[in-house]
């Protein structure tokens, strides 16, 4: 006993600056510190960040536009820049020049690389004009060939560059996911919060409403709504409509969980204390009740992204989502759903890798965030 | 001007395709020795590959008397050893008499292509649904009065033994085969032909309105049974092309009177009572259960609706014994009228299994896995590399054959319901702009694997007639998007709000919706067209629908653009049927353009939209065109004028012509000869004699 006390005193005396920072840190700082140590989650975050940047600046990173066709390289295989070949080493990456001719028997266009011609990869080249982020007119693309076109992921049946298309698709699919989740998230917190805090008849009505939304079969609903989009709508309108639909369908689960959590918490002393101090209902919900629930909300949020992305992919895959020439992962995979692609152009499936990667990244990110945000997790600083 | 005769031009395309002209045609003129005395000797197994010096009046086939005389032998008949079992599967069929009694007294004798075949086996084919994508398989069992030989030039006997025209082509006399029987053993006579026309085609209880194709200058023909085997068709106007229709048409101008009369009010006064008993309104409805209001053989049989367990007897080589939502099963007709040169009753193949596959990918997989015996319809060239590369795996061969009328068109509906669009579409400058906006060379490279020729659309297949000039083929086919934009700007269509889409006069964005079925054209072509139109400021929204939906919408005048290949434009078709030439420039299955004009014409001016002068002129020219024999100077002059009007108006905007398309058959299909054409216009396989195909064991 005495020894314990002595140790404690001792500790207090030698409290380091690091410890001090720990004890005085805000909740969010603690979360961040714990999260940083979660290597896998960090990796997920980095992957998503890269994807987001690639998507947001797709016009810059993509060498060509979504609909640009290369008639000389139809259903062409991915081209990988090299630094050396039989003719020696080059510091500047290059690909071999290509000549295409039709196979007289199968009538397939066969591209043969000419090992003696080199097409060098240049960076920051001028290309098709575009508006960066829809604002800044530019015509500089990250890379391009000095002559001809470079197709890192190959080309599709119309000779369109799959790398460029994948980047634009990334922008569409990720942003639909993010926007959809945000709509669902806000709705869930408001609806769940109100139901849980007030309870009684309000709760009853909201719960029945939730059930109605929950029992609507999702795919037929999507199909009905997508078919009902007026033909005059531009792709941007369809895009936002789809986002809204995903959001309006996605809220019930989180709303239910929020509600049950609040129902359990609203009788606690600290809520009573807040109420007695004259806090309004919205203040009690947002400042006192929801923060006790942060870790769960974060996880739910992050885990929802893949669902949104997959919904969009599924919808576009069955041809009900965005219309070409807009491009999303689903639309690209739709192009891959034929035997020609499977047998003769497996690179059509590269976007599927992006879907898998994004979903995985979101999942491990959510996992890491949950660990980091959980106040009860062991916190060895 | 290209003033070659029809025949010359046809020969030229044939030679171009590397197809040998029919040797039999030439050799039939050679004097044959012997004759007279018929010797009771074993007949030589004459084949096309080895004719043993015996050729008849028509290529690859003989009348039995002709054959026996030339070969100095007597043919003895044999039958499919399983024929009794097959017959047992045909509901309502009595026990079979011996084969010699089942065959007509004068059966038709086929020289098989390569060898005398073996009986048995099941031919597996694919359709899309009960009434969708079926004609390819229908053509295998199809028979008609006459047939085109595989040179696609010579008309040869089939159900009819011979025929005779009067001098001015108003009277056609057909001689049938004595003792010819329906698939239930009942005699087939001239009365069955009269019944088909008088009591079905002309009867308002069966057809509310007689189809225009069976009226001649608006009048019905007269069909007379002179005696049991002689029938006379008497036309109100010269109709020289009708013999071509009897050779290539899906419809058969004969129906089993002995069977159908029991449901027909004219022959059975209790027919209405019979209908009421079955819960139907009148005998017309009852009859429709068996003869479904069209001559198509894929209309649902009573088996499909489980209305009855018998089907209408047929003269075809196979008869339906099962009809479900997933497919149809057929067995050989035990009374079929053709034998081979060894006296074996055809067909060799015992059964046909028709399976419905909607999805083109599943269909491709089934083919590459070797599950399909034969297919040509809806095989597009885009899949040719895939099919070719898998030949060994699936043990099949895929060939390319010229596809007549495959020049896929885009027709901007000039009588569309949307009035703003209608006004735009009616402006010739718009249609010219659309024609110029398309990059046909790229279409040819990407979609048709470089095998076609960029060409304007016309209501005739230039490969089969002599009157189309190069000038006409090349009218407005250059790729010139700048000129297209200029034309649109001249019309006052501009992009005021800078969203890259032009505004219509009413301020709405210029958006056209294109509904398409993958049966009509390769999807890639529509994607390219969408990109081309986007380049000149028009948004084309693509939506895939089934063929049925597409046709229903088209015939209801609900489509803003129609797109399909051109059916019914080869020589035999246009010689007797002007459907492709006058509004709506197509039939129910292939809606074209100008439905409002067509409605105006049929209603006598009370409905629809009054057509422009050019269309009125077309009606006139088309009527004259079918009254003169094809290939004559007068026919060429009229044809040239018709093509000119079509070309200048761009009602249908053409893409790529002279396209080739795949035809596949499994290697165990014997006596299969490479097709000289892949076309509905000669009724798919009908000229290529599928009755003598057999399955190698």
Residue B22 has pLDDT above 60, yes or no: no
Q: Could you tell me the pLDDT band of residue A11, with boundaries at 50, 70 and 90?
A: low
Tokens at A235, concatenated: 């792709």
Asked if A89 and A203 sit in the same domain, the reply is no
Query: Ranked by mean pLDDT, which of B355-364, B512-521, B612-621 comes out on top?
Result: B612-621
Q: State chain B's maximal CA–CA distance in angstroms.
A: 90
User: In a 3-state reduction of DSSP, which class is residue B543?
Assistant: strand
Q: What is the pLDDT of residues A294-320, one digit of tens each?
A: 777 877 888 788 888 778 777 777 666
- Return the CATH number at A362: 1.10.3720.10
Share of chain B above pLDDT 70, in %: 94
pLDDT at B30: 38
Per-residue pLDDT at B519: 78
Q: Beta strand B162-165 with A82-85: parallel, antiparallel or unpaired?
A: unpaired
pLDDT reported for residue B4: 38
Q: Encode pLDDT of B668-687 as tens digits.
A: 999 999 999 998 889 999 99
Q: What is the pLDDT of residues A200-211, one digit of tens each?
A: 899 999 999 889
Contact call for residues B325 and B130 (beta carbons, < 8 A)? yes
Distances (CA, A) of B497 to A234, B142, B243: 14, 59, 59
Do A214 and A300 sit in the same domain of this protein? yes
Which stretch, A239-248, A255-264, A279-288, B625-634, has highest mean pLDDT? Answer: B625-634
Pair of tokens at residue B215: 């009226």
> pLDDT at position B197, please?
96
Q: What pairs with residue B58 in β-bridges?
A: B61
CA distance A130 to A137: 6
C-alpha A274, offset from chain centre: 38
Per-residue pLDDT at A7: 53
Q: How far is A375 from chain B (nearest CA, A)?
A: 52
Between residues 383 and 422 of chain B, which touch chain A (CB distance below 8 Å)?
Answer: 383-386, 388-390
Query: How large is the greatest C-alpha to C-alpha distance in chain A, in angstroms?
Result: 95
H-helix segments, B454-522:
470-473, 481-490
Distance from CA of A107 to the nearest CA of B (A): 6
- Residue A130, H or E segment: strand A109-132
Q: Are A324 and B511 a contacting pair at CB < 8 A?
A: no
Check residue A13 and give its pLDDT.
55
- Which residues from A are below 8 Å from B534, CB to CB? 67, 325
**Closest CA in chain A for residue B544:** A319
Q: Do A272 and A338 share a domain, yes or no?
A: yes
Confidence of residue B35 (pLDDT cuts 50, 70, 90): very low
CA-CA distances (angstroms) from residue A74 to A64, A161, B384?
15, 9, 15
pLDDT in tens, B579-588: 899 999 998 8
Q: In what order do the strands lie in the sheet with B222-227?
A: B162-165, B171-175, B230-234, B222-227
Percent of all residues in chain B with a pLDDT value above 90, rounded to a whole number: 77
Which of A339-343, A375-379, B165-169, B312-316 is predicted least confidently? A375-379
Of A123, A150, A177, the one marking the end of a domain is: A150
Cis omega (within 30 of 0) on the bond before B213?
A: no
Q: Which residues of A touch B (CB under 8 A)?
A: 67, 69, 71, 74, 102-103, 105-109, 157-159, 231-232, 234, 319, 323-325, 337-340, 343-344
Q: Report the range out of A305-309, A330-334, B607-611 with the highest average pLDDT.
A: B607-611
Q: Residues near B676 by Cβ (< 8 Å), separated by ≥ 6?
A: B14, B17, B19, B150, B151, B152, B401, B402, B687
Neighbours of A11 (CB within 10 A): 11
> Across-strand partners of B543?
B515
Of A229-238, B304-313, B470-479, B657-666, the one with minimum mean pLDDT is A229-238
Average pLDDT over residues B426-432: 96
From the CA of A133, how many Å to the nearest CA of chain B?
16
Q: What is the pLDDT of residue A342?
A: 87
Residue spans of alpha helices (H) in B116-233: 135-141, 190-194
Q: Model pTM?
A: 0.81
Ordered by start, the domain boundaries in chain B are 3-143+315-403+660-695, 155-291, 409-657
CA dist A75 and A108 (Å) reads 9
Average pLDDT over residues A214-241: 75
Strand partners, A100: A111
How close is the nearest chain B Cα to the Cα of A250, in Å?
28
Partners of residue A157 in chain B, C-beta under 8 Å: 382, 446, 524
Q: Are residues A202 and A263 in the same domain?
A: yes
Mark yes or no for CB contact B499/A234 under 8 Å: yes
Q: Does CATH place domain B409-657 in 3.20.20.80?
A: no
pLDDT on residue B9? 42
Which residue on chain A is closest to B660 by alpha carbon? Answer: A107
- Mean pLDDT of the residues in chain A: 83
User: Which range (B32-36, B465-469, B543-547, B634-638) has the least confidence?
Assistant: B32-36
Same domain, A220 and A93: no
Candidates B446, B503, B526: best to mutate against A (most CBs of A within 10 A) is: B446
pLDDT digits (tens, 9 = 90+) for A254-299: 888 888 888 888 888 888 898 888 888 888 888 888 777 777 787 7
What contacts B509, CB < 8 A, 6 or more positions away?
Answer: A232, A234, B499, B501, B502, B503, B539
> Which of A115, A150, A185 is the last residue before a domain boundary?
A150
**Burial grade of A169 (CB within 10 A; 0-12, 13-18, 19 or more):** buried
Query: Which of B361, B527, B528 is facing A338, going by the closest CB pair?
Result: B361
Average pLDDT over residues B380-394: 92
Higher pLDDT, A72 or B264: B264
Interchain CB distance below 8 Å, B385 and A69? no
What's the whole-number average pLDDT of chain B?
A: 90
Residue A193 belongs to a domain? yes
Retrieve residue A336's tokens.
């891959």
Residues A276 and A343 grouped into a single domain: yes
Closest by Cα among B405, B431, B436, B412 to B656: B405
Does A338 lie in the same domain as A194?
yes
Domain assignment present for residue A322? The answer is: yes
Model pLDDT, residue A375:
63
Neighbours of B191 (CB within 10 A): 17
For chain A, what is the domain count? 2
CATH of domain B155-291: 3.90.76.10
Distance (Å) from the C-alpha of residue B513 to the closest C-alpha of chain A? 8
Quick check: is A68 in a domain? no
Determine, for residues B389 and A343 on separate chains, whether the beta-carbon distance falls below 8 Å: yes
CB-neighbour burial class of residue A257 (10 A; exposed 0-12, middle 13-18, buried 19+): middle
Kindly state the average pLDDT of the residues B520-525: 85
Q: Which of B368, B389, B527 faces A158 most closely, judged by CB atoms?
A: B527
Do the beta carbons of residue A67 and residue B534 sit within 8 Å?
yes
Q: Which of A25-39, A200-214, B90-104, B322-336 has the weakest average pLDDT?
A: A25-39
Using one digit for the tens of pLDDT, what is the confidence trace for A23-62? Answer: 777 777 888 888 888 889 899 999 999 999 999 999 999 9
Q: What is the 3-state secondary structure (H, E, C) of B297-334?
A: CCCCCCCCCCCCCCCCCCCCCEEEEEECCCEEEEEECC
Q: Final residue of a domain: which of A125, A150, A175?
A: A150
CB contacts < 8 A (A, B): 74
Across A323-327, B342-346, B629-633, least confident range: A323-327
Interchain CB distance below 8 Å, A157 and B508: no
Task: Examine residue A87 and state whether it is found in any structural domain, yes or no.
Answer: yes
A-chain residues near B361 (CB < 8 A): 337-339
Range of the domain at A233: 166-380
Integer angstrom CA distances of residue B118 from A95, B228, B604: 58, 34, 58
Task: Indicate the burial class of B28 (C-beta count within 10 angstroms; 0-12, 13-18, 19 or more).
Answer: middle
- Distant-in-sequence, close-in-space partners of B157: CB < 8 Å, separation ≥ 6: B58, B61, B63, B108, B146, B147, B163
Nearest CA in chain A to B443: A158
How close B449 gets to chain A, by Cα (Å)?
6
pLDDT for B17 equals 39
Name the minimum distance, in Å, from the CA of A79 to any CA of chain B: 20
CB–CB of A173/A328 below 8 Å? yes
Least confident of A15-29, B20-34, B52-66, B114-128: B20-34
Place of tokens 């059509």: A348
3-state secondary structure of B648: helix
Interface confidence (ipTM) of the complex: 0.76
CATH number of B3-143+315-403+660-695: 3.40.220.10, 3.30.2020.30, 3.40.50.300, 3.40.190.10? 3.40.190.10
pLDDT of residue B27: 38
In a domain? residue A66: no
Interfacial B residues in 471-530 facing A (CB < 8 Å): 499, 508-509, 511, 513, 524, 527-528, 530
* Domain match, A322 and A374 both: yes
């Amino acid at each position: 006993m005495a020894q314990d006390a002595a140790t404690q005193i001792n500790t207090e005396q030698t409290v380091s600056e690091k410890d001090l920072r720990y004890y005085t840190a805000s909740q969010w700082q603690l979360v961040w510190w714990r999260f940083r140590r979660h290597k896998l989650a960090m990796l997920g975050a980095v992957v998503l960040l890269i994807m987001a940047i690639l998507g947001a600046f797709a016009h810059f990173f993509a060498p060509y536009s979504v609909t640009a066709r290369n008639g000389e390289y139809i259903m062409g295989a991915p081209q990988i820049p090299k630094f050396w070949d039989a003719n020696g080493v080059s510091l500047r990456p290059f690909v071999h020049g290509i000549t295409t001719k039709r196979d007289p028997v199968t009538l397939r266009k066969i591209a043969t690389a000419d090992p003696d011609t080199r097409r060098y990869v240049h960076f920051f080249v001028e290309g098709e004009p575009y508006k960066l982020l829809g604002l800044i007119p530019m015509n500089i693309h990250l890379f391009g060939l000095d002559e001809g076109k470079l197709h890192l992921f190959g080309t599709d049946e119309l000779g369109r560059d799959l790398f460029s298309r994948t980047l634009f698709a990334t922008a569409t699919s990720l942003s639909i996911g993010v926007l959809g989740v945000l709509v669902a998230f806000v709705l869930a917190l408001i609806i769940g919060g109100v139901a849980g805090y007030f309870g009684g008849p309000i709760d009853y009505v909201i719960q029945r409403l939730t059930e109605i939304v929950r029992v609507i079969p999702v795919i037929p609903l999507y199909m009905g709504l997508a078919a009902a989009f007026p033909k005059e709508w531009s792709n941007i309108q369809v895009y936002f409509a789809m986002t809204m639909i995903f959001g309006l369908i996605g809220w019930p689960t989180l709303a239910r969980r929020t509600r049950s959590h609040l129902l359990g918490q609203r009788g606690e002393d600290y809520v009573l204390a807040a109420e007695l101090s004259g806090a309004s209902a919205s203040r009690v919900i947002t400042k006192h009740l929801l923060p006790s629930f942060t870790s769960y909300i974060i996880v739910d949020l992050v885990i929802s992204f893949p669902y949104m992305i997959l919904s969009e992919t599924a919808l576009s895959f069955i041809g009900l989502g965005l219309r070409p020439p807009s491009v999303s992962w689903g639309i690209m995979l739709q192009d891959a759903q034929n035997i020609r692609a499977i047998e003769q152009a497996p690179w059509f499936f590269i976007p599927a890798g992006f879907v898998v990667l994004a979903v995985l990244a979101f999942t491990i990110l959510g996992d890491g965030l949950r660990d980091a945000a959980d106040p009860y997790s062991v916190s060895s600083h | 001007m290209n003033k070659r005769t029809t025949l010359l031009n046809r020969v030229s395309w044939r030679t171009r395709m590397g197809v040998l002209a029919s040797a039999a045609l030439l050799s039939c003129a050679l004097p044959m020795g012997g004759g007279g005395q018929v010797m009771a000797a074993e007949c030589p197994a004459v084949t096309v590959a080895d004719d043993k010096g015996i050729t008849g009046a028509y290529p690859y086939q003989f009348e039995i008397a002709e054959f026996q005389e030339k070969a100095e032998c007597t043919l003895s008949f044999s039958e499919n050893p399983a024929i009794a079992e097959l017959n047992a599967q045909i509901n309502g069929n009595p026990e079979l008499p011996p084969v010699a009694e089942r065959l007509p007294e004068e059966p038709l004798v086929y020289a098989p292509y390569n060898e005398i075949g073996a009986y048995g086996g099941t031919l597996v084919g694919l359709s899309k649904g009960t009434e969708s994508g079926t004609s390819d398989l229908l053509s295998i069992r199809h028979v008609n009065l006459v047939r085109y030989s595989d040179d696609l030039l010579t008309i040869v006997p089939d159900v009819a033994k011979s025929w005779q025209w009067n001098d001015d082509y108003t009277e056609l006399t057909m001689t049938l085969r004595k003792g010819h029987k329906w698939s239930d053993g009942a005699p087939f006579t001239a009365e069955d032909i009269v019944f088909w026309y008088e009591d079905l085609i002309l009867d308002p209880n069966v057809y509310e309105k007689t189809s225009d194709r069976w009226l001649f200058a608006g009048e019905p023909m007269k069909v007379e049974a002179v005696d049991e085997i002689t029938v006379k068709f008497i036309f109100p106007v010269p109709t020289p092309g009708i013999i071509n229709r009897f050779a290539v048409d899906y419809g058969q101008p004969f129906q089993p009177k002995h069977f159908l009369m029991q449901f027909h009010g004219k022959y059975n006064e209790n027919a209405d009572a019979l209908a009421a008993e079955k819960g139907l309104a009148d005998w017309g409805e009852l009859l429709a259960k068996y003869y479904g209001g069209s001559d198509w053989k894929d209309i649902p049989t009573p088996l499909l609706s489980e209305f009855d367990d018998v089907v209408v007897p047929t003269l075809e080589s196979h008869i339906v014994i099962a009809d479900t939502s997933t497919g149809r099963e057929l067995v050989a007709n035990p009374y079929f009228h053709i034998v081979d040169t060894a006296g074996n009753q055809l067909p060799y193949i015992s059964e046909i299994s028709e399976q419905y596959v909607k999805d083109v990918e599943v269909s491709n997989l089934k083919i590459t896995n070797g599950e399909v015996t034969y297919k040509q319809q809806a095989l597009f060239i885009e899949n040719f590399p895939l099919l070719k590369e898998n030949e060994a795996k699936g043990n099949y061969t895929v060939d390319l054959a010229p596809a007549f009328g495959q020049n896929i068109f885009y027709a901007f509906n000039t009588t569309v319901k949307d009035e703003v669009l209608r006004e735009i579409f009616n402006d010739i400058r718009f249609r010219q702009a659309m024609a110029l906006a398309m990059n046909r060379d790229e279409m040819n490279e990407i979609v048709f694997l470089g095998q076609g020729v960029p060409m304007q659309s016309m209501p005739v297949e230039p490969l089969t007639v002599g009157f189309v000039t190069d000038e006409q083929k090349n009218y407005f086919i250059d790729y010139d998007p700048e000129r297209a934009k200029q034309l649109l700007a001249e019309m006052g269509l501009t992009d005021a709000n800078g969203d890259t889409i032009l505004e219509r006069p009413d301020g709405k964005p210029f958006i056209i919706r294109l509904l398409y079925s993958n049966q009509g054209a390769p999807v890639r072509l529509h994607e390219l067209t969408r990109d081309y139109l986007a380049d000149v400021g028009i948004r084309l929204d693509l939506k895939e629908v089934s063929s049925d939906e597409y046709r229903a919408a088209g015939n209801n005048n609900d489509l803003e653009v129609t797109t399909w290949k051109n059916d019914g434009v080869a020589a035999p078709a246009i010689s007797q049927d002007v459907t492709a030439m006058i509004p709506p420039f197509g039939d129910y299955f292939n809606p074209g353009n100008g439905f409002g004009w067509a409605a105006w014409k049929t209603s006598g001016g009370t409905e629809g939209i009054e057509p422009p002068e050019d269309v009125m002129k077309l009606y006139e020219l088309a009527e004259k065109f079918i009254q003169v024999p094809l290939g004559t100077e007068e026919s060429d002059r009229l044809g040239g004028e018709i093509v000119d009007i079509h070309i200048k108006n761009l009602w249908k905007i053409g893409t790529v012509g002279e396209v080739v398309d795949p035809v596949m058959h499994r290697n165990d299909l014997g006596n299969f000869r490479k097709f000289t054409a892949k076309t509905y216009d000669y009724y798919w396989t009908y000229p290529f004699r599928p009755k003598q195909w057999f399955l190698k064991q």
